[in-house]
Amino acid sequence: MTTALLENTTRTELWSGSVIDADVHANVPSMETLYKYQDRVWVQWAQERGWAGPSGLKVAYPPNAPTTSRDEWRLADAPPASDLGALQRHILDPWQVEKAVLNCYYAIDSLRHPDWAAALARAVNDWLVAEWLDRDPRLVGSLVVPARDPQAAADEIDRVGGHPGFRQVMLPVRSEQLYGQRAWWPLYEAVVRNDLVLGMHWGGTPDGAPSTSGFPSWYVEEYAAETQVYAAQVISMIAEGVLRKFPELRVSMLDCGFTWIPTWGWRMNKEWKGLRREIPWVDRPPMDLLREHFRFSIAPIDAGPPAQMAKIVEWLGTDDLLMFGTDYPHRHDDDIAEFLQVLPEGMRANVMSETARRWYRL
């Protein structure tokens, strides 16, 4: 059973408290949608070339893949999740969502043109404000950036980051350079300066391999291997000292599950004890830094038997790390009802709303 559709249950039967959905998506319906948010020069370029938008989107989310959208959420003549009415119908209303964090992955990073990428990011952000955030008070959102150029990304964060609807800066988890490295720091300065969260979501530059050792042959490999990309980025941000440099930085890891975190933490803590002098700015066990600076959306839950799942939750060592998110419209067959049963009672409200409320200052 999946509870994303509230099958065989009702919202209040499932959970009678508040719901904050930390990960719902907005997809750009078409390049033409963005024309009115762009300078004419970019519109002319797109029209002259017949360019329909960044290619990376269909690499990260093959249009017909069952994981890209639940059948029930596909739209007749537009990409899934490309319409506010659909989001309201499918998630916000039936789930009685108090707040939802709207994420748009448009794969701007797959466009190498430095000026056009920045222009496209501006267009997407202005479209998000005008057609989503300003139209439903339940929505807050992530702004997109030209991620290949950290300074241009910082400029865009400063341009729109002050809009009260924006609470997060979206980065695709795959990148040419690991996110801990210093080239990214102007971007993080802007994130902190604007009191935003840094959010990483599945996707990323086509030249950044989705495995840590090159390109897989099959989509199933890529999809299943994504956790290792997130883990590599977490390790990089901790080891490089980003969290020491930016002690206020909050990082959300979205769409990567969480069952891998405890064993990852054991390993990182163990190695840190003997090698910490190589990275002396890391003055605490890495898992402590993770608990302080990172939050995770729960999808995909990757649930095993409930007894084993309960152990994994206990091993997290904190009740303030996980955030409910449907990842609408992507398909995860997570059984939220069963997961709520697994959670210690005192953790349920945190997962369903309160951790995200504090994290995003909602």
Partner 1 sequence: MTAPTERPRGGKHVVARTDEIPPGSRRIVELDGRQIGIFNIDGEYVAFLHRCPHMSGPLCEGQVIGLVESSGPGDVRLDESRKFLTCPLHGWEFDVHTGQSYFDPKRVKAKRFPVEVRSGADVAAESAPGAPGTPEAETGAAPESDGRVPGPYIAETFEVAVEQDYVVVSTGRARRK
Binding site for partner 1 (CB under 8 A): 182, 240-242, 244-245, 272-277, 280-281, 285
Quote the least distance from Cβ 89 to partner 1, whole Å: 47
Task: Give CB contacts under 8 A, 24+ apart, made by 41-47.
Answer: 42/116, 42/119, 42/120, 42/123, 45/116
Q: How many whole angstroms separate alpha carbon 342 and alpha carbon 336?
A: 10
Tell which phi-psi region holds residue 184, choosing left (phi > 0), alpha (psi between -120 and 50) or beta: alpha
Under DSSP, the state recorded for 362 is -
Partners of 253 in beta bridges: 200, 296
Of 206 and 285, the one with the shorter C-beta distance to partner 1 is: 285
Smallest separation, CB 244 to partner 1 (Å): 5
> In this complex, which beta carbon is closest to partner 1, that of residue 293 or of residue 348?
293
φ, ψ (nearest 5 deg) of residue 322: -105, 145
Nearer to partner 1, 276 or 357 (CB): 276
Query: CA torsion sign, 215 to 233 to 112 to 327?
Result: positive
Q: Give the shortest CB-228-to-partner 1 separation in angstroms.
A: 24
Query: Kindly report the CA angle at 65 between 85 and 107, in degrees rounded to 5?
Result: 70
Nearer to partner 1, 40 or 277 (CB): 277
> Which residue, 106 or 246, has its beta carbon nearer to partner 1?
246
User: In the bound complex, what is the minimum distance in angstroms from residue 232's beta carbon to partner 1?
Assistant: 18
Q: How many helical (H) and strand (E) elements, i.e. helices and strands, does the chain have?
A: 15, 8
**Shortest distance, position 189 Cβ to partner 1, whole Å:** 14
Q: Looking at beta carbons only, is 159 or 276 nearer to partner 1?
A: 276
Closest to 317 (Cα-Cα) out of 281, 356, 289: 289
Please list, in sequence order, all residues whose beta carbon lies within 8 angstroms of the beta carbon of residue 180, skipping any fewer than 6 positions away.
233, 235, 236, 237, 238, 239, 240, 241, 242
Nearer to partner 1, 79 or 265 (CB): 265
**Amino acid making up residue 157:** I
Euclidean distance between the first and final Cα of the chain, in Å? 31
Task: State in angstroms the smallest separation of the CB of 277 from partner 1.
Answer: 4
Strand order in the sheet with 99-103: 20-25, 99-103, 139-144, 166-174, 197-204, 251-253, 294-297, 322-323
Residue placing its CB nearer to partner 1 in the complex, 50 or 274: 274
The distance of closest approach from Cβ of residue 281 to partner 1 in the complex, given in angstroms and rounded to an integer, is: 4
Shortest distance (Å) from residue 156 CB to partner 1: 25
